[in-house]
Structure 1
Amino acid sequence: MLGGKNKVLRRYLSNNNRFKSDNPDYGRAFLLNAALAYMSVICMIFGILHIIKTDHPIFIYFYFAVMILSIVVIIFFHKTDNVKLTSLFAVILATFIMGSILHLVYSDYSGLFWAAAYLPFVYLMLEGKKGVRATLILGVSGLLYIIFFHRDWQPGIFNYMSIINIAGAGACLMLLIVYYERSQKRAEKSLVAKNNQLHLMSITDRLTGLYNRHKLDETLNELVCKSKTCKKPFSIIIADIDRFKSINDTYGHLTGDKVLVEISNLLLACVRQTDIAGRWGGEEFLIICPDTDYAGITDIAKRIEAFISGYNFGCCQGVALSCGVATHNSGETVDSLLQRADTNMYQTKQSRRNT
């Protein structure tokens, strides 16, 4: 039962799930629906209390009119999903309520507590520079109105209406604080996600999804620096697709791209979780294997070559990969290591052409 109620409430607050959590207006839609519903309920309560306790027609008409207007704005919002216009309507409605409270305050000053929630609400609804300007203008206008039209403050009364005003304004202010806090967390989470996405894009090859040359260079330099203090060896494989130009010429560049993507996926399936596979450039790949000696890297290279040559690439048959390996020697530079692996790769490629 409780889960069903939460589901209905969630649908109402998100305009029947049309505002998703990744929508930039999701937070404002949530606040609009919550504030308008809160406004209509509070006005209904005040209207009923005035019927029961005071029988002042002007207050009764006022509160029920505001309640109806709040419901009309809710219906408008759920039909149009127009956050900007609905926010403006909500601010106008809240300003009408606040202005009426200031004008009809008499000796019950507890209604002024709503100003503590009204001004933050205006800012959050209009946002940015508009929100700041509107908050300042309306706040100063309200203050000037009090100064000029309520010069002689009479002793205030404290009754059940005062309690409801204070409690209602306090609850509304808490709602705005919770909304603001969640908005900040959501913005922070979104920023972290975007930064992570940008970082991933900066180190990933767009076509294959493997690490790009920048990331591979960075990793090699880190391992070479680490090797000065840690004596564990690391090794690399440079792999090149045999006769890749003829694949592009015969089957077209789209097929060539598909071959690159498939080989990338096969490489990821062959290497260990600790290994780093990336696209070195064109049809060349680089695999970095930490804590791996020459015998270990040779076995990995042979396994990769066998796996690729035995794979069915569809219309493009006979795809093969030539691998060259090298194990880092103490004090060796990155360029020297790459040169040795590259030389070994071309020797492998040449030996295949001769057979």
Structure 2
Amino acid sequence: MSYHMRNNSINDPQDPLYRRVQFLRALLWVMFVSFLLLGCINQFLFAKPTLALYHFISSTLALAGTAWLRRRPSDTSVISLVVALATATLLVLYIVRSAGQGYALYWLSIYPPIVFFLLGRTWGYILSILVIGGCLTYVNQVAALWQPAPFTLRSLLNILTATAALIVILRHIEKTRAEAFHYLEKHNQKLEYIATTDPLTSLANRAKLDRALGNALRMRRQNDESFCLILGDIDHFKTINDVHGHPIGDVILIEMAQLLRNSVRNSDLIGRWGGEEFLLVLPNTDCDQAKMLAEKLRNTIAAFKFRNGIHITSSFGVACVRSDDDATSLMQRVDQALYAAKTSGRNRTVTDAELTEVELTTDQRATNMTP
């Protein structure tokens, strides 16, 4: 379902038809006023009722077009074609009636931007070639019959007015392009946020953390910048869900995320790694600083009263990048450090440098790990 059908309106600048409808309305009102004035002039000043009737009918049709757009603003295809053909008719008639006087051909310059904007590239090419080619063919046939035309005030006014009209049209087209780019950029930012943000905690999600870890490793290779990872886990979170329910568990995850967010630097990235696990990527941080931060987080969480007066503890693993690390090896070490913290009593912090002291194996983890 299209945007305008969902919103039932073309008054929102984010609607892709908004600028086209605005442009159509402006053209139709210009046609309505112009034909009405010409009809009055021919009827009352020059006593040409037949020509005046033609102008009054054209004015009525332009007014009907504005009414059509008001009632059915999303149906622009037919009215755009009608306006493009009507504009072509006006230009051709004016050029023919001018008979080479007053630089009337200059008005052809406004037609391509109008028709390209209203009808798109294909019909823009077709109608521009037909109208301009037809006019030039006609001029080539009859130019010998025209009298030499001096450059007069009428010539100057034609050039100035057509140039002003061209500037207004191009400004509208450029404004449309700029706004379309702006809204596309905003839409892409929203999509990027959705694609990289955990919907529950509003922290970075797994995809964004993976990307950040890859970037940190590249910076390490290029600039020898150190960084560390902290992987935290809420102790006995399954029991919390079983006793208090999953809605309370979700609230605790949200509050946990806020505690972490308030305890780190702007340059640090916090994300939800999965379930009740949170990963912190800490650029320009050594192992001692990372462990101090992990301990600070652990103590802050232990002292905090969560929803319904619940007190929880957490365990943390810390790993610092080494020269031969890739994402897999670094994540494996921080995961093993967290596992060591969990299996050695929980509510504690273990670094990757301490792993040899706990002598972990993959089989031990699979056998002993409990929520």
Describe the SS at the equivalent of 1:306: helix
Counterpart CA distance in 2 for 1:325 and 1:114 is 73
Offset at residue 139 of structure 1 (A): 3.7
Structure 2 match to 1:14: none
Bigger drift between 299-308 and 246-255 goes to 246-255
Identity of aligned residues (%): 29
Q: Distance in 2 between matches of 1:173 and 1:55?
A: 33
Name the residue aligned to 2:364: none
Structure 1 residue 174 displacement after superposition:
1.5
d(CA) in 2 for partners of 1:35, 1:202? 42
Seen in structure 2, the aligned counterparts of structure 1 residues 115 and 329 have a Cα distance that, compared at 3 Å, is: closer
Q: Following the alignment from structure 1 to structure 2, what is the Cα–Cα distance between the partners of residues 195 and 53?
A: 59
Partner of 2:13: 21
SS in 2 for 1:271: coil
Are the aligned partners of 1:19 and 1:25 in contact in 2 as well (CA < 8 Å)? no
In 2, Cα distance between equivalents of 1:21 and 1:113 = 33
The equivalent residue for 1:34 is: 26
Would you say the 8 A contact 2:102–2:152 is kept in 1? no
- The one of 211, 223, 227 equivalent to 1:234 is 227
Name 1:127's counterpart in structure 2: 120
SS of the residue corresponding to residue 81 of structure 1 reads coil
- Equivalent residue in structure 2 for 1:260, among 235, 253, 268: 253
Judge conservation of contact 2:251–2:307 (CA < 8 Å) in 1. Answer: no
SS in 2 for 1:273: coil
Whether 1:180 aligns to 2:173 is yes
8 Å CA contact 1:228, 1:331 repeated in 2: no
Q: CA deviation at 1:276?
A: 0.9
The one-letter code matched in structure 1 to 2:332 is Q
Alignment of 1:71 with 2:46, yes or no, is no
**How far is 1:34 from its partner?**
2.8
Greater shift, 247-256 or 343-352, is seen at 247-256
In structure 2, the partner of 1:10 is none
> Taking structure 1 as reference, are residues 185 and 113 closer, same or farther at Cα in structure 2, changes over 3 Å only?
same
Which letter does structure 1 place at the counterpart of 2:206? R
Q: 1:61 to 1:163 in 2, by over 3 A?
A: farther
| 1:116–1:319 Cα change, 3 Å | same
Change (3 A) 1:333 1:78: closer
Measure how far apart 1:300 and its partner are.
Answer: 1.9
Deviates more, 1:116-125 or 1:79-88: 79-88
Q: Which whole-Å CA distance do the structure 2 matches of 1:271 and 1:50 have between them? A: 79
Unaligned runs of 5+ in 2: 1-8, 349-371
**Structure 2: distance between partners of 1:96 and 1:102:** 10
Q: What is the rounded CA distance, in whole Å, between the counterparts of 1:295 and 1:200 in structure 2? A: 33
Give the match's secondary structure for 1:305. Answer: helix
Provide the C-alpha distance between the structure 2 equivalents of 1:108 and 1:58, rounded to a whole number of angstroms: 24
The reply to whether residue 301 of structure 1 matches residue 294 of structure 2 is yes
CA change 1:75–1:298 in 2 (3 A) is same
Shift of 1:345: 1.9
Distance (whole Å) between structure 2 residues aligned to residue 316 and residue 140 of structure 1: 82
Instruction: Please tell me whether the aligned partners of residues 66 and 93 of structure 1 are also in contact (alpha carbons under 8 angstroms).
Output: no
The equivalent residue for 1:284 is 277
- Count of aligned positions: 339
How far does residue 289 in structure 1 lie from its aligned partner after superposition?
Answer: 1.6
Q: Which amino acid aligns with 2:159?
A: I
Per-residue deviation at 1:286? 0.8
Q: Which residue of 2 aligns with 1:347?
A: 340
Which amino acid is the alignment partner of residue 216 of structure 2? L
- Which shows bigger deviation, 173-182 or 132-141? 132-141
Contact preservation (8 Å) 1:107, 1:157: no
Residue 20 of structure 2 aligns with an amino acid whose one-letter code is: R
Rounded to whole Å, the distance in 1 between the matches of 2:309 and 2:78 is: 58
CA distance in 1, matches of 2:127, 2:254: 55
The residue identity in structure 2 corresponding to 1:237 is I
Please state whether the residue corresponding to 2:204 is helix, strand or coil: coil
- Counterparts of 1:90-105 in structure 2, within 5 Å, are 90-105=83-98
Aligned match for 1:86, one of 68, 71, 79? 79
Letter in 1 for 2:315: S
AA paired with 1:24? P
Structure 1 length as normaliser, TM-score? 0.76
1:8 counterpart residue number: none
Report Cα offsets for 1:59-113 as digits up to 9, x if no partner.
5554455444433423432343243343234224323323432553445464433
Query: Cα deviations across residues 124-170 of structure 1 (Å, max 9, x unaligned)?
Result: 11124233333334444444555567773333466555444333322
Q: Indicate if the aligned counterparts of 2:102 and 2:154 stay in contact, CA closer than 8 A.
A: no
